[in-house]
Each structure stands twice: as structure tokens, then as C-alpha cells.
Amino acid sequence: MRWSVRHVATRGVLEAEERRQVRTTHFADVFTCNVCYSHSQLMKWITREHPRVDRVACPWLIERFVDKQAEFIYVPSDQVASEAQKRGATAYDIKDVELGHHGPECSFDAFVHKYGLEKDAAMVYMAKVIRGADTADKAITPESVGIEALLEGIRLIHQPNDQKQREASRPILDALYAYCQKKVEKAA
């Protein structure tokens, strides 16, 4: 598998070779999988409806680092597996799938591992924050409880529209990533 360094801004992807301008000053170099990033066919991702932390954080990660054109589908819990098969979608954040909870780690961790994003120290810390917000281990980072509260507030504002909730969560997750970048930069 071939990897590239891509320049990522907190409000979107900035491709070095395209030299597009982005209205933000927060940038980071991250490793992305060329095969996944340049995937010519639209990737479809499916999970349970009425998302909480993991089910909005994972789409953010996918759009920023894996496939910026991905499609996200939310369905009732008992329909995820059958709908995934019908639609040719990848199920995530459900029991017994690769991109789900494993041991103490949540689905966000599974995406970080699968796509080799652990090379990015800010992403590693962000995964820890998301894990704390999504699991019972609330004390894993001091930021976890606050992120959980913010994402729950967005859920309450936008329910029952899962897509609007996902979209409204982006700025919070962009801000969290920028914060994590600065935090690991200071620690280094």
C-alpha cells in the first residue's frame, strides 16, 4: 500500500499539488492511504441510526482522511447488516465488525488503526478523547466529558435528522483536532 503526506486544514482538505486556499490557519501533515484517498468509486458507510459520539466522529475521520466523497447511511439497528449487503456499504460501530468496538477501544480507534493514522500524534490523542467520550472510561482524558456533552447537544438540536447532526458535528470535531494538534505540539 502506498502512503502520501497530505496537508489537512481544520475546515477541509488542502491538497499540496492543487494549491487551493482554505480559510483557516490550522494545518497538519498527515499520512493517508493513496488507494483509499483516490478511490474512484463512492465509498458507502452504514451504521445505526440516532448517532452518538462514535457514529459522528467516524464519518468526520472518513471525510477528512479516507474519502472526502463518502456516503453515510443511518438505519435501524436490526437492519444494518442486511442494508449493508444490499447497498454494498461497509458497516461500522456495530457488534462483530472490523470497524467496531474491540476491548476498551471504540470504533474511532479501529478506523485510526485500519488507515494507519497512528503516525499522526494529534490523531492518536484525539482517538483517546473520542474513546473516553464514547465509552465508560470518561476519565481517560480531561477533554472526553466535554466533547461528549457538546456532541450530545448537537444530537438534541438536530434529532431525528441524523445527517444534519453529522454535518453539524464537523466544526466541533475540526476544533478538537486543531486542539489536539496544538496539545501534542506543545508536549513535543
Q: CB-based contacts of 81: which residues, under 8 Å, 6+ apart?
A: 91, 94
What confidence tier does 41 reach under pLDDT thresholds 50, 70, 90?
Answer: low
Check whether 183 has a pLDDT greater than 50: yes
Nearest to 110 by CA among 123, 100, 120: 100
- 67-98 pLDDT, tens digit per residue, is 999 999 999 999 999 999 999 999 999 999 99
- Write down the pLDDT at residue 91: 97
- 141-159 pLDDT, tens digit per residue, is 999 999 999 999 999 999 9
Residue 128 to residue 183: CA distance in whole angstroms = 13
Other CB atoms within a 10 A radius of the CB of residue 130 amount to 32
- Write down the pLDDT at residue 74: 98
Query: Virtual CA dihedral for 78, 91, 73, 8, nearest 10 degrees?
Result: 150
> What's the whole-number mean pLDDT along residues 1-22?
37
- Write down the pLDDT at residue 36: 46
